[in-house]
Amino acid sequence: MNRSLIKFITDYGPLLIFFSFYYKNNKDLTIAIPPFIIATLTALIFTYFLEKKISIIPLVSGILITFFGGLTIYFDNPIFLYMKPTIINILFGFSLLFGKFFSKEPLLKIFLKKSIKLKDEGWNRLNVRWIGFFFFLAMLNEFVWRTQSEEFWVNFKVWGLLPITFLFTAMQVPLINKYKLDE
């Protein structure tokens, strides 16, 4: 099995498991959350054994999924799960925003410099765009869970946030190409 397929499965498999359990069990979050947590932790462990490391984003996401999923089950209140994407996106946005005060280069460059080679201006612009995007996702999630039904939010989380993220990422290609370093 090739690595990109394994990465896709470990990144998105837990979310698809959550979605499947949610709909197979009469749209019950308390039944869907435990398999989601188990699948997420399994994916993190599998990634660690495969790569001998776990990237910061999946690690933080896994910790927050476990924490907020556990709170949702313990208190029997879905608000904790609804707020998880908001909190994750705010954390990532603030990390990139304040990272420039603690590092000589944007944190995005530190995380992605092995896969993308850009001029400093490109890294700075890309960093600013991702900061804005993370805060936008946080506000969008808040709007959706506060104004729509639980089922709508679940569908939005699976079929809305992911495509929006993929689209935003694809929209960064011209900036990346403009500031790409010649090798």
Confidence of residue 17 (pLDDT cuts 50, 70, 90): very high
CA distances from 28 to 100, 147, 176, 178 (A): 42, 19, 42, 47
pLDDT digits (tens, 9 = 90+) for 73-89: 999 999 999 999 999 99
Q: Pull the structure tokens for residue 170.
A: 């694809």
* Backbone region of residue 26 per phi and psi (left: phi > 0; alpha: psi in -120 to 50; beta: other values): left
* Residue of 80, 81, 82, 91 lying closest to 57 (CA atoms): 91
Confidence of residue 10 (pLDDT cuts 50, 70, 90): confident
pLDDT digits (tens, 9 = 90+) for 104-133: 888 888 888 888 899 999 999 999 999 999
DSSP string covering 63-90 = HHHHHHHHHHHHHT-THHHHHHHHHHHH
pLDDT of 1: 64
pLDDT of 83: 94
